[in-house]
Amino acid sequence: MGTDTSIVSLENVSYRWRGRASFGLDIADFRLAPAETVLLLGESGSGKSTLLSLICGTITADQGAVRVAGTDIASLSAGARDRFRAEHIGLIFQQFNLLPYASVLDNILLPLRFAPQRRARVDDPSEAAGALCAALGLPVDVVTAQAGTLSVGQQQRVAAARALIGAPPLIVADEPTSALDAATQATFLDLLFAQVRASDSTLLMVSHDARLAPHFDRTVEISEITKVPA
């Protein structure tokens, strides 16, 4: 294990949703290397969300080990898992990423509130947030705006800034572009990739859209890594 430098590794992992016996996920082996960008393709219902929940530690595997940055998620207490997620993972959802009533700045700084180490990596959080917004092509005065007043495309960029602040080792994005039109999609991905590379983070993006594949180092079909449930 000491030689395993993977930022994420899942070995012989099996998970069943309670009360939905037929619905679950079994993964023999899935790894992400540091600073790698990976596109995970799969149809809806293929277990993508379950996989992300396992990696983020909001659910724990019934069998097998899920490691993030070398730490076995299951070995942590529930509270420690929440803290671990805040420290190591930046998250971008499909839509409705932001607290609409809070300012853009408060939204971006929210994960730092729960992650002291990540917070310590940022000298001046407000300035860092402003810089990220600028790098992601948002207007300068956007940080003081109320998040709910922004367009969907702008909101996704703010969500990206929130995931990137404090340079967590892993960025997880769950179909971040599906609510955007084609032109906005391309710009968003270009900006996101530039920032992910700048912070040396690993990017795991989940999508059902195979056309995104050329942007990534590697593309994985979820069916390739799952075992057929017994």
Partner 1 sequence: MILRLALGSLMARALTVAMTVLAIALSVALFLGVEKVRTGAKASFADTISGTDLIVGARSGSVQLLLYSVFRIGNATNNLTWESYTDIAARPEIDWIVPISLGDSHRQFRVMGTTVEFFERYKYRSGRALEMADVVVMDDLFDAVIGADVAATLGYTVDDPIVVSHGIASFVEHENQPFRVAGILAKTGTPVDRTVIVSLEAIEAIHVDWQGGGAIPGQVTPADTLRQMTLEPQAITAALIGTQSRLQVFALQRAINNYASEPLLAILPGVALQELWQIVGVAETALVAVSGMVVITALIGMMATIFSSLNERRREMAIFRAMGARPRVILSFLVIEAAVMAAVGAVIGLGLLYLGLLVAQPVVDARFGLWLPIEAPSLREFWVLVGVVAAGAIVSMVPALRAYRMSLADGMMVKI
| Interaction site with partner 1 (CB under 8 A) | 49, 52-53, 56, 58-59, 78-79, 82-83, 85-87, 91, 93, 96-103, 106, 109-111, 113-115, 148, 162
C-alpha 91: how far from its chain's center?
Answer: 4
User: Smallest distance, Å, CB 107 to partner 1?
Assistant: 9
For the CB of residue 103, give the shortest distance to partner 1 in the complex, in Å: 8
Q: Among 229, 228, 230, 222, which Cα is nearest to 45's?
A: 222
Which parts of 6-100 are beta strand (E)? 8-16, 24-32, 37-41, 63-68, 71-72, 89-92
Rounded Cα gap, residues 16 and 230, in angstroms: 12
Rounded Cα–Cα distance for residues 70 and 67 (Å): 5
Cα angle 157, 191, 199 (rounded to 5 degrees) comes to: 95
Q: What is the nearest approach in angstroms of partner 1 to the Cβ of residue 113?
A: 5
Among residues 1 and 119, whose Cβ is nearest to partner 1? 119
Name the residue nearer to partner 1 (CB basis): 16 or 215: 16
Q: Could you tell me the smallest distance in angstroms from the CB atom of residue 3 to partner 1?
A: 29
**Least distance (Å) from partner 1 to the CB of residue 44?**
10
Nearer of residues 26 and 175 to partner 1, judged by Cβ:
175
222: nearest Cα among 21, 19, 26, 23: 26
Residue 27 or 89: which CB sits closer to partner 1?
89
For partner 1, the closer CB: 67 or 162: 162
Backbone torsions φ then ψ of 48, nearest 5 degrees: -60, -45
